[in-house]
Amino acid sequence: MSLAVEWNSYSVHRKGLRVSTFLHGHQWSTYFLSLPYRYAIPLIACSGILHWLISRSLYIVNIQARGFNHGREPYLDSVTCAYSPVGIISGVLVSGFYYAGLPSCGGISTVQNRDANCWKLQSGLAIAAACHSSYVEKDNVINDGEDNSEKQGAEYQRLKWGVEPLIPSEIKGQMGHCAFSSGNVEIPQHGRAYL
């Protein structure tokens, strides 16, 4: 869900890519917990509580038998699995709240969605097409306050997902192309085919 929210945000706002290497230009760093903190912290807390409750609901009991004279009688020893009804009921209740509250965790349902483009997360072809611009992005010079300004491509710029305008030399009526671009992009039109 978090991936779909982030992917959709590129069709609404222009922003840099999230990378795991050293940052250049307008790139962002990856999440420390692999998710935004507003999702990760409640999920980790609920998972910890649920793990603790389950570990308290089923456990191993080792009974060592003693006779009337307080001597050991190993033939009466028993190892068995015991359970706690309170732990089981608490675990079921917490897991019910956990899964019922998961969609609203961190406000996923309140995210602005300009375009329902989450379908492409299930298609490797659509993801590959979105990452390949139909025309070569011009290198832009970014000055980050230092004397050494570098020529950097689109991967270092703020990007937006949408339909790239066709180059005037291209044939009219050609299929449009949806991709990440540092240039101008348009909103995809319902009912039209795109690459």
**What does the pLDDT look like over 35-81, one tens digit per residue?**
778 778 888 888 899 999 999 899 899 999 988 888 888 888 999 99
Residue 169 has pLDDT above 60, yes or no: no
Residue 142 has pLDDT above 50, yes or no: no
Residue 140 has pLDDT above 50, yes or no: no
Angle at 157 between CA 151 and CA 163, to 5 degrees: 125
b/e per residue 41-50 (b: at least 16 CB within 10 A): eebeebeeeb
Whether the CB-CB separation of 195 and 176 falls below 8 Å is answered with yes
Which residue is it, tokens 């456990």?
59
Whole-model pTM: value is 0.56
